[in-house]
Amino acid sequence: MKRDLRVLAAAGALLTVLATVDAAFAQKQGGILRMYSPDSPASMSIHEEATIFAEGPMMGVFNNLVIYDQHVPQNSLQSIVPDLATSWSWNEDGTELTLPLHEGVAWHDGRPFTAKDVQCTWDMLTGKSNEKLRVNPRKSWYGNLDSVTTNGDYEVTFRLKRPQPAFVALLASGFSPVYPCHVPPRDMRSHPIGTGPFKFVEFKPNEYIKVTRNPDYWKKSRPYLDGIEYTIIRNLSTEVLGFVAGKFDMTFAYSLTVPLFNDAKSQLPQAICELTPSSINRNLLINRDKPPFDNRDLRRAMALSLDRQAFIDIITMGQGDIGGVMQPAPAGLWGMPPEILNSLPGYDPDVPKNRTEARQIMKTLGFDPDNHLKIKVTVRDIPYYRDPGVILIDQLQQVYIDGELEPVDTTNFFPKMMRKDYSVGLNLQFAGRPAIERGRRGKAKTAAVADRTETSGGRCSTDHLLQPRWDVSATARKGADADGQQHL
Helix intervals (H) in 130-190: 167-171, 185-190
Comparing 26 with 87, the larger pLDDT belongs to 87
**pLDDT of 246 higher than 80:** yes
pLDDT range class, residue 266, cuts 50, 70, 90: confident
Q: What is the pTM of this model?
A: 0.79
The proportion of the chain whose per-residue pLDDT surpasses 70, expressed as a percent, equals 82
Bond from prior residue into 223 cis (ω within 30 degrees of 0): yes
Comparing 363 with 50, the larger pLDDT belongs to 363
Measured distance CA(434)–CA(355) in Å, rounded: 33
**pLDDT of 41 higher than 90:** yes
pLDDT of residue 431: 60
CB distance 254 to 13 below 8 Å = no
Measured distance CA(106)–CA(122) in Å, rounded: 19
**pLDDT of 439 higher than 50:** no
Bond from prior residue into 292 cis (ω within 30 degrees of 0): yes
CB distance 478 to 70 below 8 Å = yes
β 227-232/32-37 pair status: parallel
β 456-457/155-160 pair status: unpaired
**pLDDT of 291 higher than 50:** yes
Of 12-21, 214-223, 339-348, the range with the highest mean pLDDT is 214-223
Comparing 262 with 215, the larger pLDDT belongs to 215
- How far out from the chain centre does Cα 391 lie? 22
pLDDT range class, residue 467, cuts 50, 70, 90: very low
Measured distance CA(159)–CA(163) in Å, rounded: 10
**pLDDT of 109 higher than 90:** yes
CB distance 65 to 171 below 8 Å = yes
pLDDT of residue 271: 79
**pLDDT of 317 higher than 90:** no
CB distance 362 to 399 below 8 Å = yes
Distances 234 to 38, 180, 278, 441 between C-alpha atoms, Å: 5, 32, 21, 37
Helix (H, G, I), strand (E, B) or coil at 67: strand
Closest CA to 12 of 366, 426, 483: 426
Provide the mean pLDDT of the chain. Answer: 82
pLDDT of residue 258: 81
Distances 424 to 168, 354, 374, 404, 415 between C-alpha atoms, Å: 33, 20, 11, 10, 15
User: Where is average pLDDT lowest: 267-271, 339-343, 416-420?
Assistant: 267-271
* Contacts within 8 Å (CB) and 24+ apart, 384-388: 384/11, 384/12, 384/14, 384/38, 384/428, 385/11, 385/426, 385/427, 385/428, 387/11, 387/12, 387/315, 388/8, 388/9, 388/10, 388/11, 388/12, 388/282, 388/311, 388/315, 388/426, 388/453
β 198-204/227-232 pair status: unpaired
Q: Which contiguous run of DSSP H or E holds residue 266?
A: helix 258-267
Half-sphere exposure of 170 (CA within 13 A, CB side): 24
pLDDT of residue 15: 45
- How far out from the chain centre does Cα 212 lie? 24
Backbone φ and ψ of 368, nearest 5°:
-160, -175
What's the whole-number mean pLDDT along residues 104-110? 98
Sign of CA dihedral 194, 213, 46, 101: negative
**pLDDT of 29 higher than 90:** no
Measured distance CA(36)–CA(15) in Å, rounded: 14
Other residues' Cβ atoms within 10 Å of the Cβ of residue 144: 17
Bond from prior residue into 330 cis (ω within 30 degrees of 0): yes
- How far out from the chain centre does Cα 355 lie? 31
Length of the chain: 488
DSSP state of 116: H
**pLDDT of 26 higher than 50:** yes
pLDDT of residue 4: 33
